[in-house]
Structure 1
Amino acid sequence: MSFAKNLVYSRLKLLNKYSRSVNTSAIRLQNVQQVTTGKRICIVGAGPAGFYAAQYLLKQLSDCTVDIVEKLPVPFGLVRFGVAPDHPEVKNVINTFTKTAENPRLRFFGNVSLGQDISLQELRQRYHAVLLTYGADQDRELQLQNEQEQHVISARKFVAWYNGLPGAEQLQPDLSGRDVTIVGQGNVAVDVARVLLSPIDKLKITDTTEYALEALARSQVQRVHLVGRRGPLQAAFTIKELREMLKLPNVTTNWRSSDFTGIAEQLEQLQRPRRRLTELMLKSLSEQSTRSSTAAAGRQFLPVFLRAPKAISAKEMEFAVTQLREGVAVATDATECLPADLILRSIGYKSSCADAGINFDPQRGHVRHEQGRVLKDGEEKSVEPGLYVAGWLASGPTGVILTTMNGAFAVAKTICDDITAKAFDTASTKPGFEVGSQRIVSWDGWLRIDQQECEAGKSKGKPREKIVDIEHMLTIAGV
């Protein structure tokens, strides 16, 4: 080895040793900033879609670097802030995402908001390709009068409240009443019902935020209605979630037998997952008559089918009785009122348009695209070269994490295919994200936040105690 090469090697070795020994976000960012060659791809959003796409791209493109830009100081999106705290096994995907983040060709930039700290146009100038995966952060509404009253809140916000999304600690839901009515019958709705009805000792060993645990310990909620406009055969919750509800200690599930008229006769026509779910509902229904009156006096989970929201008042909610016609719920003139000290709306999410440069469909609440390729403005089906979308921002809020993984892999493959086909320029040099005066949280910064949360949780017998104050996060991260 020549003297010059030996000198360079020695300096690089010394720099790497110094970078590992000094634990600051700034040094970590300066170190990875030196990667300037190859294809540069930016992913906006550090949730499941973003990390799965990064995993695929890093595996398939040996000469690419991937930067993940996230508006929060912390990664993992809905895995951190959406998955129910009593489902720790679902959060194990964080281990996979962490392994991806440790790839030397990946950089994490937390506390960077698209449309505020950096524009889409700037990102496209700095990268060969940009993939948008920032998810769905808005609620679909019932479009009813009085929907903005204090006792009507979204299930999304309630989930964010007990999961520690920064800002959600201000929600302060009123749990002093006996009756909660949840409008919607998806897994999110069932998660919320389970948290409301679970024994507090069961939740204390999860990463439910401390302020939520205190409020749930004081809760006077005894009955939770779970209301859907269609029938049992169209219920959106899955068998796993229903089993958990049926097994909750000191909670009785009461079905309405009239909702199941003619259902047993249709079992043989159903596909296996739907048949198994329906069989479980019918089995639970058949066991109701054998329960003691003492059990019925405790906490109750009350699924109600064939009811469509009609009106909201102070202590109750009015529903129109519906009939199914070719799978569509049609309202009749008949109505029913259900008691509702608190109303939780759980009828779906929608995305927001983070940047004016995004071809966004406000009606459908997602980015206009063709197989993950973002379309140009107008009616034409022509695409924006090098601009892609995946996850709920592309599909709407459907499916589970496995669905998101498959979708993200598919779009990442499309990016690889387009690079091979030279659908956009990858030969020019792109600078990537450059850290200026912004307070950027690197992956090392996140690891410091993670360590502090885990230590705080350990003293309380919990996996972690999430930090909800962004300024506190930034201080811990060292920025």
Structure 2
Amino acid sequence: MPSAQRIAIVGAGPAGFYTSDFLLRAGFEVDLYDLLPTPFGLVRFGVAPDHPKIKSVTRAYERTARHPSFRFFGGVELGADVRRAELLERYHAVVYATGTPTDNRLGIPGEERVGSHAATEFVAWYNGHPDHAEREFDLSAERAVVVGNGNVALDVARMLVLDPDELAPTDTADHAIEALAQARVREVVVLGRRGPAQAAFTNPELLELGELRRADVIVDPADVELDEHSAAWIASDAADAIHRRNVEILWEYAGRRPTGKSHRVVLRFLRSPLEILGDADDAVAGLRVVRNALEPDGRGGLRAVATGETEEIPCGLVLRSIGYRGVPIPEVPFDERRGLIRNDGGRVVEADGSPARGEYAVGWIKRGPSGVIGTNKKDAHETVDLLLADRDAGRLGEPDPELADGEAVAAWLEERIPHLVTWEGWKTIDAHERALGEPHSRPRVKLVRVPEMLDVAHGASAPR
């Protein structure tokens, strides 16, 4: 009979690791699962490669992984390799931390044209995600448009104009380094449907644009003029320091004179896409947008309303970065409208509104894609507090004691999944990637195909 209660966490990104840490501190045994052989999720495949300081958060996750009651099982697909019911038979609780890996759609004509992509796909491609390693992006156009006003939109814009020498010492996937070095993109237009006061950039990301080696930042002063509603909001106690500082930074950019650099990042506001235009080959040739005005939405906020004034922006590449959605997990309650696991503050809720005993959600799949990496720590704490309250009230799951035994769980997984990767297997992958990067003064050269990862994790040499 197990000596401690055992928890399964599905998803080894930041939310999964923060949840693991809190649960281990509370005396639970934790098994952390991931679909891929590699942990760290968004940190490995979402953070821009030229932001190594952000990636250093993995040191904290590695400390968590050294806890004697922690185990990692990579290469496990919930719904295919193992089922929800099978986990609930073996664990006192299951926590879903699977994130929101797909994108929202613009819902406009021409969105399927060649050269129109989700920013999530582009980010995953240059970060070496195995699902996107074979993708190809045509970067031969001189102008690209990024639709969205968050940090991911700025990451994408920056990656398109970085000097090859700035990319070379990063862990950008090799295939992307080569393609970006040959790219002909000279101008990236970043569009926001609302105004500068509502932009979701963080201050460091916005400031970073002004330090690009070979790109000027262009902001039309007319675009930074605040409407009366935005001006009143920025001046009120309701506005936070981040948004106020964003407006200041944008005014500073608007006052700059171009220095004649070879590339440009143009920030434009109060524009919404209407149609992606195409050429004879059905490839992207431009974007038709409408100018917006801001009006009170009746709930204390402002909404963008089309004025009817339109314009066309010639371009050959459109990347949408307008938010993310979760993917349903087989048999797990899912809210299709919101694209999240159906939950109440972190407790999973069945379709009839009743709580799913012993099941919880954490991170973006719980609350939606908001905040920065560290936001998931507070979110994990909230979910774990609910789990602890349910434990104290006797409301966790009741697995078969024999099935819940740690050795029995490991044996079951090894029989079911021959390619199972443990934490030791991941450390072998990690050492291999770092060794590949060392001769080139890079933090690592990522393996971007699952068979390569499995070969290394299990002691075979990875083909290069």
Runs of at least 5 residues in structure 2 that lack an aligned partner in the other structure = 279-284, 297-301, 460-464
Deviation at 1:218, TM superposition (A): 0.5
Separation of aligned partners in 2, 1:126 and 1:428: 6
CA contact under 8 A between 2:215 and 2:264: conserved in structure 1?
yes
Residue 282 of structure 2: aligned partner: none
CA contact under 8 A between 1:321 and 1:332: conserved in structure 2?
yes
Deviation at 1:265, TM superposition (A): 5.5
TM-score (norm 1): 0.88
* Cα separation, partners in 2 of 1:114 and 1:425, compared to 1, 3 Å: closer
Q: Does 1:363 align with 2:337?
A: yes
Identity rate, percent: 38
Residue 396 of structure 1: aligned partner: 368
Structural mapping, 1:25-36, within 5 Å: 36=2
Q: Deviations over 1:395-428 (max 9, x none)?
A: 1111111111110121112111211121235696
AA of the residue aligned to 1:360: F
Separation of aligned partners in 1, 2:421 and 2:384: 25
Residue 117 of structure 1: aligned partner: 81
Q: Does 1:409 align with 2:376?
A: no
Residue 302 of structure 1: aligned partner: 266
Separation of aligned partners in 1, 2:345 and 2:149: 29
Structural mapping, 1:261-280, within 5 Å: 261-262=225-226, 266=232, 267-269=234-236, 270-280=239-249
TM-score (norm 2): 0.91
Residue 315 of structure 2: aligned partner: 340
Runs of at least 5 residues in structure 1 that lack an aligned partner in the other structure = 1-34
Q: Output the aligned Cα RMSD.
A: 1.6
Q: Does 1:387 align with 2:363?
A: no
1:458 to 432, 438, 447: 438
Residue 189 of structure 2: aligned partner: 225
1:352 to 327, 331, 343: 327
SS of 1:385's partner is strand
Larger CA deviation: 207-216 vs 414-423: 414-423
Residue 393 of structure 2: aligned partner: 421
SS of 2:146's partner is strand
Separation of aligned partners in 1, 2:171 and 2:197: 34
* Cα separation, partners in 2 of 1:337 and 1:444, compared to 1, 3 Å: same
Q: Deviations over 1:194-222 (max 9, x none)?
A: 11111110111110111111101101110
| Count of paired positions | 435
Between Structure 1 and Structure 2, the one with more helix by share is 1
Separation of aligned partners in 2, 1:224 and 1:47: 30
Residue 205 of structure 2: aligned partner: 241
Structural mapping, 1:177-192, within 5 Å: 177-192=141-156
Q: Which one has the largest radius of gyration? A: 1
SS of 2:273's partner is strand
AA of the residue aligned to 1:447: K
Larger CA deviation: 165-174 vs 75-84: 165-174
Separation of aligned partners in 2, 1:152 and 1:427: 48
SS of 2:395's partner is coil
* Cα separation, partners in 2 of 1:252 and 1:388, compared to 1, 3 Å: same
Separation of aligned partners in 2, 1:423 and 1:169: 43
* Cα separation, partners in 2 of 1:472 and 1:262, compared to 1, 3 Å: closer
Separation of aligned partners in 1, 2:84 and 2:94: 9
Q: Does 1:472 align with 2:452?
A: yes
* Cα separation, partners in 2 of 1:265 and 1:346, compared to 1, 3 Å: closer
AA of the residue aligned to 1:106: F
CA contact under 8 A between 2:104 and 2:322: conserved in structure 1?
yes
Residue 251 of structure 1: aligned partner: 215
Residue 13 of structure 1: aligned partner: none
Q: Deviations over 1:99-144 (max 9, x none)?
A: 1111111111100000110111111111110000011111111112
